[in-house]
Structure 1
Amino acid sequence: MIKDLFSEKKQLLSFEVFPPKKEDEFANAISVLDSLAGLQPDFISVTYGAGGSKSKKTVEIASYIQNQLHIRALAHMTCVGSRKEDIDAVTAQLREAHVNHVLALRGDRPSYMSDEQFEGRHFSHASDLIHYLGTNTDLHIAGACYPEKHYEAGDMESDLIHLKEKCEAGAEFLITQLFFDNDAFYRFLEKAGKSGIQIPVCAGIMPITSAKQLGTTVSLSGSAVPKQLADIIATYGDDPADMRKAGIDYAIKQILDLKAHHADGIHIYTMNKPKVAQEIAAAIR
């Protein structure tokens, strides 16, 4: 079980990948996984489409990780657009594939979802999904957390109340939303500890290798951009090669600082770019 690794090892290293959008991209996805496997991560997580739109591909990729690469697979599961029977169907698929870890998320509201559907959804929050899975399955469950608070939360205090509900519902460890300011992460850990949240937390790091990627990332995650990273974009944003190197170097510095501060784990959002992950892994080990 992944949760046991936190007491067995000093720090965990893990990766996130996303499943292919089309069937003819599956071979490339497998190639990405094979490359990442060579870095010997403790686990690899696989994302999940809004409303379960890619759940079958998520299960296929997670199954390959678990059964062919013999690496622990963490399958994302979102519930915002799912009924209980939809969740039951996916958990049955995971059981058949011998995948026993999930990252339980509410997920972003799908564009097709009406206000009435959204308000009447079966699972209002990720904590509801965690409780349902903990009651009805034998899955091991991870949760998400937000060092700079969830964008819908009024303040950090209320966000931490909801996070504690996830822990009490059965989350065994947490993975953060990506962030670029380590001090924000350290402040979050201090506040979480004071709130009674004691389970391990993996720090989510996304290497920014292009100026366009940063804009998209910030709009989706709400993460603050420190001056140092903004200066990198201003200096190297028009030069793809230099921007790539500078972005990877920034992520490496972030991770080395996190390791020095005894972070429980480092979770790298790879964007299915194994060469970037390889460069980072070589520098931080």
Structure 2
Amino acid sequence: MKIDSIFLKKKPVLSFEIFPPKRDTAIQSIDETLAILCELNPDFISVTFGAGGSVTNNLTVELAKKIKQEYHIEPLVHLTCLNHSKAEIQQILQQLQEAEIENILALRGDRNPDVEPKQDFCYASDLIQYIKEYGDFSISGACYPECHLESKNRIEDIHNLKKKVDSGANHLISQLFFDNTIFYSYMENCKIAGIEVPVEAGIMPVVNKAQIERMVSLCGASLPEKFKRIMQKYEDKKEALFDAGMVYAINQIVDLLAHDVDGIHIFTMNNPVVAKRICDGIKNLV
């Protein structure tokens, strides 16, 4: 089933993100994690495009096939374009069609200073348009409540998002955030810009100090005072910080659901315990 069809039948939607094992690791290494996640009955599971992934050795597609064929849950395959040629993207799209995978999250991908990007795709909107013209896929895009790190301001960021939607994206997943008021303001801006496709709120339960520091560095996510106080109080108490991080994420989701969000997308970091704790905390709400 295409993800845009899921939103026509259900609201709010609940989904997970996982990443494939390292290239020198068997796909079976993730079986236990996958089994637990699938028991939680998400509406779909997104699979990131593994670092260093190639067209011929694509664990992302292999894992997506496993999710669809063995667990009968719709996979959403991440696809980056900055370091791929049109021929390489076409080959991956053919693999997805052969596996009857219908859903793609189209991303530009991060710039690597050590790798010269190929010139076929400069932006995610270029990839979205190419996929739209190539075949019958449901295309998702990413959005950034606190702006993409390369955007000058929110006006430019929303303009770029509108280009993604106009190019064919029919569903959006937000970057992680810790302050719901920022997300609500962002959604108002999207509405004013005429962006009306479903938007899932991306939630990352933060359960250790190193993870927090890494995410803030990579994504530029701001930390509200309430979150900072939690960090300061429990940063040297591993189990307490885990519990506090879970409670914060659950409370964040409860508030989002009360504001009638289209869906919740949980960045699981391949940790089924985190996903299960959250699902237990919101089981009567979705």
Q: Given the two structures, how large is their TM-score scaled by the length of structure 1?
A: 0.95
Q: Secondary structure at the match of 2:58?
A: helix
Match of 1:239 in 2: 237
Matches within 5 A, 1:146-165: 146-165=144-163
The whole-number CA distance in structure 1 between the counterparts of 2:97 and 2:41 is: 24
Q: Secondary structure at the match of 1:223?
A: coil
Matches within 5 A, 1:75-224: 75-113=77-115, 117-118=116-117, 121-224=119-222
The whole-number CA distance in structure 2 between the counterparts of 1:133 and 1:249 is: 39
What is the CA-CA distance between 1:51 and the residue it aligns to? 6.5
Mean Cα deviation higher: 47-56 or 15-24: 47-56
What is the CA-CA distance between 1:136 and the residue it aligns to? 1.1
2:32 is equivalent to residue 31 of structure 1: yes
Matches within 5 A, 1:40-51: 40-50=41-51
The whole-number CA distance in structure 1 between the counterparts of 2:166 and 2:269 is: 31
Q: Conserved in 2, the CA contact under 8 Å of 1:145 and 1:176?
A: yes
2:258 equivalent among 260, 273, 279: 260
What is the CA-CA distance between 1:186 and the residue it aligns to? 0.2
Runs of at least 5 residues in structure 2 that lack an aligned partner in the other structure: none
Q: Secondary structure at the match of 2:265?
A: strand
Matches within 5 A, 1:246-285: 246-285=244-283
Q: 1:181 to 1:198 in 2, by over 3 A?
A: same
Q: 1:25 to 1:253 in 2, by over 3 A?
A: farther
The structure carrying a bigger helix percent of its residues is: 1
Letter in 2 for 1:258: L
Runs of at least 5 residues in structure 1 that lack an aligned partner in the other structure: none
The whole-number CA distance in structure 2 between the counterparts of 1:251 and 1:48 is: 25
Q: CA RMSD in A?
A: 1.3
The whole-number CA distance in structure 2 between the counterparts of 1:51 and 1:138 is: 27
Q: Secondary structure at the match of 1:278?
A: helix
Match of 1:11 in 2: 12
Q: Secondary structure at the match of 1:24?
A: coil
Q: Secondary structure at the match of 2:254?
A: helix
Identity of aligned residues (%): 45
Q: Conserved in 2, the CA contact under 8 Å of 1:143 and 1:173?
A: yes
Deviations 1:22-67 (A, max 9, x none): 4435323121111100000000000013574486100011001111
The whole-number CA distance in structure 1 between the counterparts of 2:9 and 2:162 is: 24
The whole-number CA distance in structure 2 between the counterparts of 1:278 and 1:23 is: 28
Q: Given the two structures, how large is their TM-score scaled by the length of structure 2?
A: 0.95
Task: Count matched residues.
Answer: 281
